[in-house]
A and B are shown apart, each in its own frame.
Chain A
Amino acid sequence: MSLALHYFKVQKVRFGERTLLLDGELTINKDELKEILLEDPVIANLELEIVQPGESVRIIHVMDAIEPRIKVEGKGDIFPGFTGKLDAVGEGITNVLQGIAVLQTGQRQGIQEGIIDMSGPGAKLSSFSELCNIVLVPTLIENAGAVEFDQTMRMAGLKVADYLAKVTLNNQHDYEEVFNLSVTDDQSLEKLPRVVYVYHLQSQGLLRNTFVYGHEALNILPTFINPTEILDGAIVSSNYIIACQKNPTYLHVNNPVVLELARRHGKDLYFAGVIVTNENSTLADKSRSAIYVAKLAKIIEANGVIITQEGGGHSDTDLMMVCKECEKIGIKTVMIANEIAGPEGKLPSLVDTVPEAVAIVSTGNNDESIVLAAVKRVLGGNAIFGRTESASDAFKTTLGIMYCATNQLGMSKLTTQQF
């Protein structure tokens, strides 16, 4: 199974007459793009904005981020089951429009604040501050229910990504990366430790769903998926709740653990596969999933597993149960988690633990105080959730409000240190 990613680097984005990519500059025909989105009867109005790194801009109410990709060779389309036709993806050639993200913004009860600052101290905290962002601010028709909100928002972001990715066609890519994870007869690979990635999705109902091939992951049995399928958009997020505890679609196709393991495959490890599993709501469902994950890992003869999480609270239990079940049958584990340890880091970081959880990578403490600078412009809404002051003001808050600052897929270089 071989997938080549052709990267097209974008350094600058602006609106213009024609949508095209020229010498690293992406031009977008705003009217044409708006027209495509306004085909959805649920969208009453729509603002589209472009922001570049370093601008004095704060983006609030960030729900999801998407990277434009398009398949140019091989079966299926990006985001199969949504904007893409349903077929098994992960082979051939995929074009990647790199350096930009489509940001969906919006507000609904339950969705917590998620902020990206494009400059100032806040810009050091979110990886999305380094990208050129195309920001969607849709206004939905009155009385749009939660179901319409969920579907419309998800599809709007994916449609914009699909539309933009087309600029790579008939263009020359800047560089390529080939992932060849096929089983070979190469004897030397057999000596390498076999590593499996256990990929928890949080799919627990409306606004907190994640999809695999367009299928809601709610109550799925753990299942195998090829790493390259993930890079081709097989997993799409509709989990909009907590800024640092939701994994955006952008990071599913750029999953840092998948990329790290794939790049090291055949060098110091053997990347034996990915198991996707859901964080379920009941103890019985959690147990079943954990036992099933360990069983699958054993079938593919894993020596060790990396386990990632999405969400906090009772999803800590999913993480711990998988850890326990794997260690019980001799499969070593490392987990990635972020912490809710109080402002000074004195409180227990996770709500559940097992004695087998001896190797954990921390991606930072969400509760630590940060101070954001005043900005000139705010996109995505008028007020920061829970604050009456202007959203453009300087203010003190906690790290967990910064979009993906302590991302649970291990994207950032943050960790905690004991003092």
Chain B
Amino acid sequence: MNRKFVVVHYLNQFFGQIGGEDKAGIGPSVRNGGIGPGVLLQQLLGDEATVVGTVICGDSYMAEHQDLAVAEVVQLIEGFHPDLVIAGPAFNAGRYGPACGAVCKAVQEKLGIAAVTGMYPENPGVELYGPEINCIATGSSAAGMRTAMPSMVKMGLKLLRGEALGSPSEEGYIARGFKRNIFVKDNGAKRSVDMLLKRLNDEPYFTELPLPKFEKIPPAPPVTNLTQTTIALVTEGGIVPKGNPDRLESARASKFLRYSIEGVKALSGMDIQSVHGGYDNTFANQDPNRVIPLDTVRELIDEGKIGGIYPYYFTTTGNGTSLENSRKFGAAIAQELKEAGVGAVLLTST
């Protein structure tokens, strides 16, 4: 296969040599071949690919009519039947970056071809489109063109050839926020000892697992009028009717369930069990009230210390359950309880 790859370059009015800020309102137009940074682009692509055309659009036009402008640009690009689109680089230009990001995303989605751009990591385009596009990290100004373009071309050619991309630090692109498993030379034990010795010798080292950040959830304020409050019972302890009719998972739960406790004085091991795979269920199965303290709550209601109880208990399995699912379960349970006028929840964990 000796066919050369076909590349289209996207530029703003400034790099497209139409003019400065005074021309920023100009709509999309087309030039044959590469111009401006496109000359360098063609040099770097060498014999493997040809820049057949350049699509230029003013930054303000793009910012002011974004959906329309992107559609127009994509249509012009499509006219060249390209294999790859290179956009920018936009460096730290505040409208050009988002424009490049929007064009790359649209090209990938609508034309099903690869696109590469380049931006300064603080360009707002990175925040808007970062996870969805291939974006080389560049310097903040056009002075960085000579280092940015080679990385963009290298990445573009790899995508064209269907080659696997290396890490962000190897390839120079801005991490898209996802991970893949890879095999490396040394086992984890050796890597841990190497990393520790680097730390102890004050040498640079890289953690393989940058810290996730968690939102802090402040505890709710105390309930002041418990005698007037209806409470609900919610657990992650995997408490279900015996036989697990709704097939709650013993780990990695994909759902939460609710079961009626209307008129039930206390839970019984005869008809209730735990399916949680993360703890020894013997004691919970003997007496499920140890996980869902219905018996005690009923007593406290009889004594007038608690206003009432919501007629259903909620249950899931908190055993390696994803944060995403846990958030979803929490929000849905809270929504129902709030609408029902429940004032407090006894959340039992195992």
A interface with B by C-beta (< 8 Å): 109-112, 146, 193, 195, 204-208, 241-242, 256-257, 259-261, 264, 268-269, 281, 303-306, 312-313, 332-337, 339-342, 344-353, 355, 357-365, 368, 399, 407, 409-419
Report B-chain residues with C-beta under 8 Å of the C-beta of A206: 280, 282
Interchain nearest-CB distance for B244 vs A (Å): 10
CA distance A208 to B276 in the complex (A): 13
Report B-chain residues with C-beta under 8 Å of the C-beta of A416: 179-182, 208-209
Given contacts A364-B181, A416-B181, A340 and B168 within 8 Å (CB-CB): no
Given contacts A206-B282, A342-B322, A112 and B250 within 8 Å (CB-CB): yes
Report B-chain residues with C-beta under 8 Å of the C-beta of A111: 277
Q: Does B212 contact A (CB under 8 A)?
A: yes
**A-B CB contact pairs (8 Å), 27 listed:** A109-B275, A110-B250, A110-B281, A241-B277, A257-B192, A261-B193, A304-B196, A334-B199, A336-B189, A341-B179, A346-B178, A348-B214, A349-B212, A360-B207, A361-B191, A411-B187, A412-B188, A413-B183, A413-B188, A414-B184, A415-B188, A415-B208, A416-B208, A417-B180, A418-B177, A418-B179, A419-B168
User: Top 4 closest A-B pairs, CB basis?
Assistant: A345-B179, A410-B188, A205-B280, A348-B212
Q: How large is the interface on B (under 10, 10 to 19, 20 to 34, 35 or more residues)?
A: 35 or more
Interface residues of B in 150-198 (CB under 8 A from A): 165, 167-168, 175-193, 195-197
CA distance A116 to B275 in the complex (A): 25
Q: Does B220 contact A (CB under 8 A)?
A: no
Find the A residue at minimum CB distance from B173. A419
B197 touches A359 (CB 8 A): no
Q: Does B200 contact A (CB under 8 A)?
A: yes
* B 201-227 to A, binary, CB cutoff 8 A, 1 in contact else 0: 100010111111110000000000000
- Contact partner of B178 (CB less than 8 A), chosen from A112, A350, A419, is A419
Q: Does B320 contact A (CB under 8 A)?
A: yes
B179 touches A413 (CB 8 A): no
A242 touches B180 (CB 8 A): no
Find the A residue at minimum CB distance from B205. A359
Given contacts A146-B282, A257-B189, A358-B207, A414 and B197 within 8 Å (CB-CB): no
B interface with A by C-beta (< 8 Å): 165, 167-168, 175-193, 195-197, 199-201, 205, 207-214, 250-251, 275-282, 318-320, 322-324
CA distance A345 to B167 in the complex (A): 14
Find the B residue at minimum CB distance from A352. B214
B200 touches A303 (CB 8 A): yes
Given contacts A207-B280, A340-B322, A415 and B275 within 8 Å (CB-CB): no
Report B-chain residues with C-beta under 8 Å of the C-beta of A306: 192-193, 196
Report B-chain residues with C-beta under 8 Å of the C-beta of A365: 179-181
- Contact partner of A413 (CB less than 8 A), chosen from B165, B185, B192, B282, is B185
Find the B residue at minimum CB distance from A209. B280
Interchain nearest-CB distance for A389 vs B (Å): 17
A334 touches B195 (CB 8 A): yes
A256 touches B189 (CB 8 A): yes
- Contact partner of A109 (CB less than 8 A), chosen from B190, B196, B213, B281, is B281
